[in-house]
A and B are shown apart, each in its own frame.
Chain A
Amino acid sequence: MNKRVLKFLCLGLILPVMTAGMVSCKSAGSKSGADGEIHLAIVDDIVSMDAHKTSNDYIVPMNVFDSLFSIKKNPDGTTEIVNSLADSFTVSDDGLVYKFTLKDGIVFSDGTPLKADDVKFTFERILTLPDSAQTDFVIAIDGAEELLNGQATELRGITVEDDLHFTITLAEPFSGFIAQLATPSTVIYSRKIVTEAGNDFGTVPEKTIGTGPYIVTAWNRGSSLSFEYNTRYWGEEPSVKKVEIKVMDASSMNMAFQKGDLDILDCLFLDSAIVDSTYKNGAYKDSLVSVDRLGTNYFLLNENIEPLTDVKVRKAIQLSIDRDSILQSVYGGDGKLEDGIYPSGCLGYSQANQGWLKRDTQEAKKLLKEAGYENGFDMEISVDAGAADAINNSIQIIAENLKEVGINANIKSYDHASWLDLRNSGKMPSFVALWILDFNDPDNIIYTFFGSVDNTVSRSDNYGDTATIARVADARKIVNTDDRMAEYAALEKKLVQDDAVWVPLYSLKHTYVKGSRVKNFTPHWAGWSDIYFSGVELF
C-alpha cells in the first residue's frame, strides 16, 4: 500500500458525507393520524407484562388492565382519585371496613365477565406469588401478613358477597388505601384467565388479557411491543387505535422522531443541550408538552459506612454539593431544587421544610474539621452501569464538588443487577437515585425508605433511629388528614435536616415533544416515563 491508497481512503470517507449533506433532510409530516396508529419508543425492553412480577414496567398494566380506581389530573394541577372498575365504595367510621360495588357489565377482552371474586383472587395472588413485587400495596389488608408468611391459605380480609359486591377489612386504619388501589400495581386480573394461562400469563401476549382499553398483540423481546384497541372496552373509546413501541437508544430515538417515525419523543433520554438546540428553540418549540414529575432525586448516604456514620460528615456533604449547577447544566434548568423528602406536588409537601439548604463549602469544611476529617477521606459513589447519561454526568459533578472540600469520591460502576444486589444488601455506600410517586401520598415515599428496618436496609440508608422508624410506620394510621400531614412534615424535618439521611437534589420536569400527527398528549400525572395511550389524541 502506498500514500495514494491513503488519499483515496480519505476520499472514500468524505464522498458519502458530502453527498449526504447535499440531500436535505425531508420531514415525513405528510402522514396523517387518520389510521389511529402511533409509534413510540422505550430505551429498555420490559421484563414482564405481569404487574405482579415487575415494579418498573407499567406500560402493559396501565394500558391493558384496569385498577379499581384511577387518578385524574385536574386542569389546576391537583389530582383526584376517581372510580375505574369500582362503581362506588363506603368506609366505616373506624376506617377499617371498606364496602365496594363493581361497575356492572365489565368484561375482559376475551369476553370473560369481571366478578368480585377476581379482586379477591388478584390480591391473594399478589401475596402468594413466589416472586411477587407488589406485596407493599395490599399488606394493609387484614390477614395479609399471615397469607404472605404462609400461615394462612386465604386472605381473610376480603369477603365476596356476590358478583358485584365485596368487602375489604384492614388490619389497621390506613388512609392511603384507596390511593394504593388506584395504582397499576393493583390492576385486577381474572381468576379464570390467569389460572388457565399458567406460566404464559404475562409472557405470552394472547394469554395476557385484561379489561383495559388495549390488548397486547405482539411482544418481540428486545425489540418491540404492539397494541390494538380492545373493542370490548367498557370506557370511552380512545383516539389511538394501534400502538407500536420500539426499543431503541436515545440517539436512534432522536433520529426517528425527526424523520417522523416516532410520534412522541421523551426528552428525558436526551442531553439537555440537544433538547435545547433541536427542540426548544427549533421548529418543534410549539410541540413541547411538559409535566412536573412528582419525584425526588436524591443522593443517599449509607449510615453504616465509615465515616458517613457521623452526622456532621453527612451534613458537610449536604453543604458541598452544587445542586443548582447540576440542575442547570445537566437538566437545562428544567426542574426545581428540593430540600426534603416529598417532591413538589406531593400531598403533604411542606413549604416550611424548603429553602434551608444552601451550598456552603466553608461551613462544610468546618463541619469536617469538627468531625475529625480535616484532611478529608475516601468514599465510594456507586453507579448503575445502565443509568442514563444524565445520572452519570450528575455523579461526576458531585464527585468534583466533594473534591473541593477534600473528600475523595471514587465512582464505582456496577452492572444493573449487581448494583441492585449491593443496594438491597444495605451495603451500598452512596448513590444517586430517584423515587417517583406511585400514588400521591407522602407515605409512598417515606415508608419505602424509612418505614421499617428491612426497608432501611434494602434502600441502603441504614437509618438507625428505631423510634423515628416506628413513627413513620405509625403515621399511616393517623385518621385525621391534617394531623397526618403535620406528622409527615415533622418527620421530614427530622430525617433530612437533623439527621441528614440524604442530600435532597431536585424534582424535574418531564418534557415530551409531540409529532405532527398528535393533537393532544397528556403524560402520566406523576410524570412517569410510562404513558396512557388514551392520553394521546390524534388529528
Chain B
Amino acid sequence: MKENVKRCVKNKTVIISLSVILVIAVVSFLAPVLFPGADSAQDLSVRLSPPGAGHILGTDELGRNVLARLLYGTRTSFLIAILPTALAVIVGTVFGIIGAFFGKAADSAVTWASDVTLAIPGILLAMVILYTFGGSAVSVFLSIVIIEWGGIARIVRSATQRIAKSEYVKAAKTAGVGRFRIMTRHIFPNLVPTLIVLFTLNIPASVLSESSLSFLGIGIQPPGVSLGLMVNQSKQYLFDMPWLSLAPAGMILVLVLAFSFLGDALRDILDPTMKQ
C-alpha cells in the first residue's frame, strides 16, 4: 500500500490532475465565503453584460455574477458527481462481494439485478426516475447511483473472485478462518485499489450525466445552479453572449478531463488488470 502511494506521488499525471481537482474543489467550496449570496443576487440594470472589470466573467440574464454562479454551480456538480458515485461504489461493492462470496444463488441474483439496470440506457433510466420524483438534485443523485452500481458490482465481483482464488485466501480458509474475517481481513483490503480506481473513473460519467439531464431540462431546476443547468439556460445566448455558456462548458471539460486522467493513471499504477 505504501509503495502504491509512493508511486502515485511520483507520477506527474496524478499530481497535476489531482492538483487541478483540489484547486477547483477548494475554490468552489469557498464560494459562499468569497461571494456570499452572489449566486442569486440580481442586478437587473446590468443584465447580460460582457466580461469586464466589474464582473470578470460577465453577468447573466438576471444580472447575476457569472463567476460566482460558476463556482456555486461547480460546487453542486462536484457534490452531485462525488456523493452518488461514492454511494454507487459502496452499493456495488457490497453486492459484488455478496455475489462472489455467498454461493451460486446470491451470485445469480446479483448478476441478474445488475443486468436489469445495465440493460436500460442510462439517460432513459434516469428519465424514469425523474418522471417519478421530479427534477431535483435528489433525483439526479438517485439516478446516478442506480445507473452506476451495476457496472461497479460486476467488476468488484470478478475482482473478489480473483482474490478469493489466490493462494493466501485459500490458505486462510484451510486454516479455518471464518468467512466474515476472510472478507474483512483478506479480501476487502485487496479490493481497495480497485475501488479507488472505479470511483475516480466513474466521476466523469456522473458529471456528464448531471449536465446532460440538466441540459434536457429534467435535472437540477432553477433557482438551483449547476454546470449543466447553466449551459441549458445559456443555450439561447450561445452565439450572442458566448461567455454565458463557455464558462460552465469549459468547467465541465476541465473536470471530466482531470478525473479521466487521474483515473487512467491510478488504474495503471494500482490495478493494471482492470484495463481488460
Contact = CB atoms under 8 A, between A and B. Distances in A.
A116 B33 CA distance: 74
Contacts of B240: 273-274, 277-278
Interface in A386-431: 386, 389, 392-393, 396-397, 399-400, 411, 413-415, 418
Interface in B220-265: 221-223, 233, 235-241, 261
Contacts of B233: 389
B48 A393 contact: no
A1 interface: yes
Contacts of A277: 240
B122 interface: no
Contacts of A325: 44
Contacts of A1: 13, 261
B223 A414 contact: no
B217 A386 contact: yes
A411 B62 CA distance: 15
* A interface: dominant SS: helix
A386 to B, nearest CB: 7
B223 to A, nearest CB: 5
Contacts of B63: 329
A415 B47 contact: no
Nearest to A328: B44
Interface in B48-76: 48, 61-63
Given A278-B240, A414-B134, A415-B135, A397 B222 contact: no
B212 interface: no
B221 A413 contact: yes
Contacts of A396: 40, 42, 62, 222-223
Contacts of A393: 61-62
Contacts of B40: 396, 400
B174 to A, nearest CB: 46
Nearest to A253: B236
B218 interface: yes
A187 B238 CA distance: 42
Given A271-B61, A393-B61, A400-B42, A413 B238 contact: no
A362 interface: no
Given A1-B261, A400-B42, A415 B237 contact: no
Contacts of B217: 385-386
Interface in B126-173: 131, 134-136
B47 A250 contact: no
Contacts of A386: 217
B51 to A, nearest CB: 16
Interface string A315-353: 000000000010011000000000000000000000000
Contacts of B239: 251, 255
A249 interface: yes
A270 interface: yes
B275 to A, nearest CB: 15
A486 to B, nearest CB: 39
Nearest to B131: A415
Given A329-B47, A389-B236, A396-B42, A418 B134 contact: yes
Given A385-B217, A392-B222, 8 more contacts: A255-B239, A273-B240, A274-B236, A274-B240, A328-B44, A396-B62, A400-B42, A415-B131
17 contacts: A250-B236, A251-B239, A271-B236, A273-B48, A273-B61, A273-B241, A274-B236, A274-B240, A325-B44, A329-B63, A385-B221, A389-B236, A396-B42, A400-B42, A415-B135, A415-B218, A418-B134
Interface of B: 13, 40, 42, 44, 47-48, 61-63, 131, 134-136, 217-218, 221-223, 233, 235-241, 261
